Chains A and B, each alone.
Chain A
Amino acid sequence: MSLTTTEHELSSFRGTTSGLRLTLICILSLILMVLDHQNQHLVKIREALSIVVYPVQAAINAPFALGRWADETFSTRGRLLEENQELHQDVLMQSARLQRMIALEAENVRLRALLDSTAKVADRVLIAEIVSVDMNPFRHTILINKGGRDGVYVGQALIDAGGIVGQITRDQPFAAEAMLVTDADHALPVEIARNQLRTIAMGTGDIDRLALPFLPRNADVQPGDLLVSSGLGRAFPAGYPVGTIVDVRSQAGQPFLEVDAEPAAALNQIREGLLIWRDDDLQNALPDGQATIATEESR
């Protein structure tokens, strides 16, 4: 009895060690990788598999979410009052600014009408929480808890209170992956707020550095300049802060300046962000009946 089992197991074992199975697996993997690299083809499979692994991500996120919940629930009355007061002051300050904004926006629309160019329209936003899961350690990617079901789409911009965080690179039904602006493969069209000088901010792979490699030596740029998104390339809405220039170096013999900027968003400590819909994307991006879920107009 046990002998036959042994023989059976041994013969099946010979099967598994044979290089044939490895070759097949390698070929299958290669086909998958090539298809995945060309995008599009594997979206459905990835979506299905992401639902399978979502429980793992949710389970890992759970203790952290619980910690945050406990932190909020059991905080002392004094601290809550203090926080409330701070928020009140913030709201006051913000609404004061907003009042001026409304007037400025109206003026802007009027002036743009005079110039015969289309006005920048208000964007629709949705709050998304960052899922506490570390993604690829070699890339700057994060996972957010809003996905295709909420109308999130690939290429959508993600911001936080400070400025632009990144863009959505993959949407799953329940979650979405976002690439941060500091990822080594990320590039973002920006302009310098002081003089509207347009350039491109590249990620460096360093969480608190952006590089601006395409500024000529005579460009008017200095440390402290604010970078805002220019809206060119149509991936990001225009006018959101991206970063502040911290260092300008010019090397003799080099045609371009070496300019470093610090991201405006607090990239390594964000807990939640805002997804932005551009107005012209709204019609085709939103599934029916979901347009009003947890949204607010920021006009």
Chain B
Amino acid sequence: MYRKPVIWPVWVVMLAAISLEVLPLPGFVQPLRPPWAAIAVIYWTMMWPRRFGLGAAWVVGIILDILHGTLLGENAIALSIVAYVTMRFHLQIRIFPMWQLTTTVFALLAMNAFIQFWIDGVAGVGSAGISRWTQVMTGAILWPPLMALMDRVRVQIETRGSAFI
């Protein structure tokens, strides 16, 4: 009989990613902090587009906005658009070899950063420096290990729930 795989471990992963976003780091590591939440959103919309969709990405974004003190909706709109693009092409992206996948994730993270950069610009919120873009770099570099990690979570859930995917 078909049993629906549980969804809560995804939210545990999300919560961890969101927490890592605001974990205090010494100043010089700050520009290297990867966009954890965006990475997690890309992974889960790519792998489980039916269960983790736009709405979920939006909620994650709103939580980030509150935590970061940015405009309410800034992270939300960026993550929703990224999730939408990922979902649109998830069948192609999923079978990419790793280097190609990493490049795609780099592009998606850059898009995420650019939307926020643009909104900050329109809202007249001064943003300093290039740390926004170095974060995209570290995000892409950390993608392969993070993907392997989340793959394990996903496979666990799917084997236990006699998965549909």
Q: Which residues of A contact B (CB under 8 A)?
A: 1-2, 5-6, 9, 12-13, 16-17, 19, 21-22, 25-26, 28-33, 35-37, 42, 45-46, 49-50, 52-53, 56-57, 59-60, 64, 132-139, 141, 169-170, 177, 184-185, 205-207, 268
Given A56-B18, A134-B23, A139-B69, are A2 and B128 neighbors across the interface (CB < 8 Å)?
no
> Mostly helix, strand, loop or mixed at chain B's interface?
helix
- Inter-chain contact A5/B73, CB cutoff 8 Å: no
Chain B CB count within 10 A is highest, among A29, A37, A53, A207, for A29
A2-B2, A33-B77, A64-B24 known; 8 new pairs, CB 8 Å cut-off, are: A1-B1, A16-B87, A28-B73, A33-B123, A137-B31, A137-B33, A138-B128, A170-B69
B: which residues have CB within 8 A of A?
1-2, 15, 18-19, 21-25, 27, 30-31, 33, 49-50, 53-55, 58, 61-63, 66-74, 76-77, 80-81, 84, 87-88, 119-120, 123, 125-129, 131-132, 135, 164
Considering the chains assembled together, what is the distance between the CA atoms of A52 and B15 in angstroms?
13
Q: How far is the CA of A5 from the CA of B18 in the complex (A)?
A: 32
Question: In angstroms, how far is the closest chain A Cβ from the Cβ of B149?
Answer: 20
Q: Which residues does chain B contribute within 8 Å of A19, judged by CB atoms?
A: 84
User: Main SS of the interface on chain A?
Assistant: helix
A145 → chain B, closest Cβ, in Å? 14
Given the complex, which residues of A lie within 8 Å of B126, measured CB to CB?
184-185, 205
Known: A33-B123, A46-B66. A6 touches B58 (CB 8 A): no
CA distance A57 to B49 in the complex (A): 29
B120 touches A29 (CB 8 A): no
| Measured CA separation A17–B49 after assembly (Å) | 9
Q: Measured between C-beta atoms, what is the minimum distance from B59 to chain A in Å?
A: 10
Cβ-defined contact, A26 with B74, below 8 A? no
